Amino acid sequence: MSLGAVAVCAATARQEQEWIAFALREPVSQPAVRVWAYAAAAVVLGCSGRSTPAMHERAAAAGTELCIRPSGGGAVLAGPWLLGTSVILPPQHPLAVASIVEGFRWFGLCHAAWLQSIGIAARAVPSAVAPHGRALPWACFASLSHWEVEAGGGKIVGLAQLRRRNGVLFSSAALVAPPPWELLCDVLGEPPEDAAVLAARTASCRDILGVQTTAEALAPSLLMRLAQGLSRFDAAPRPGPIPAVVVR
């Protein structure tokens, strides 16, 4: 694996987590960026979440994978409706040494700029915003935290961060299309009516743009926006543009 490369990867959520674990096994020497287009549905729990035998049974019955990511936050429903990113930075990188909240700033602004470039009026929210109505702490997309992105009156990008001695991980999840929130509620054993709450609190690229689009179609532009954002803080000389590789 070349940690210096950036790539668009068609993979499962579990393969994404395996790549992160491998990337952080040794000290990170240069930034690495992956943009993930998910090949299948998966419920991804934050590191503080606890899976139960009943969850695994419901996931298996629905043909859905269940896995845990090393970063915190609520559960995410990965699948063709979602575009994910993983940015791995050396521990002393300028974007990694800021406070956790301030560290999210550049990441959220990059995602907002990416959405604006494809015609979506998005903004990164500097402070956490409490949702109207009942809190759903188990779901990532139920509320807006620091520098997460909203558009069209709903959350469209969720962010997470992991700090280890060997490096720092920034990860995101962007809604390309409306997810089947009923599936998330079913696997987690949450009330089915919460699916409507999640739908009301979120927005997607497809709904705002009014056209059919896919994670694979949007991934290259997000990849380039993140690479541009990192290049502003990368002091190491480069012979040319960072290569973008599509992995199938």
Q: Is the pLDDT of residue 110 over 60?
A: yes
In the structure, what pLDDT confidence band is assigned to residue 155 with cuts at 50, 70 and 90? very high
Q: Is the pLDDT of residue 75 over 60?
A: yes
Question: In the chain, what are the domain boundaries?
Answer: 6-234
CB neighbourhood size of 237 (10 A): 5
For 100-128, give the DSSP string.
HHHHHHHHHHHHHHHHHHTT--EEE-SS-
Question: What is the pLDDT of the chain when averaged over all its residues?
Answer: 90
CB neighbourhood size of 133 (10 A): 10
6-234 under CATH 3.40.50.300, yes or no:
no
At residue 246, the pLDDT reads 33
At residue 234, the pLDDT reads 56
Q: How many CA atoms lie within 13 A of 197 on its CB side?
A: 20
In the structure, what pLDDT confidence band is assigned to residue 1 with cuts at 50, 70 and 90? very low
Per-residue pLDDT tens digits for 162-189 = 999 999 999 999 999 999 999 999 999 9
Strands of the sheet with 76-78, listed across from one edge: 65-68, 42-45, 76-78
More confidently predicted of 49 and 3:
49
Q: HEC states along 48-87?
A: CCCCCHHHHHHHHHCCCEEEECCCCCCEEEECCCEEEEEE
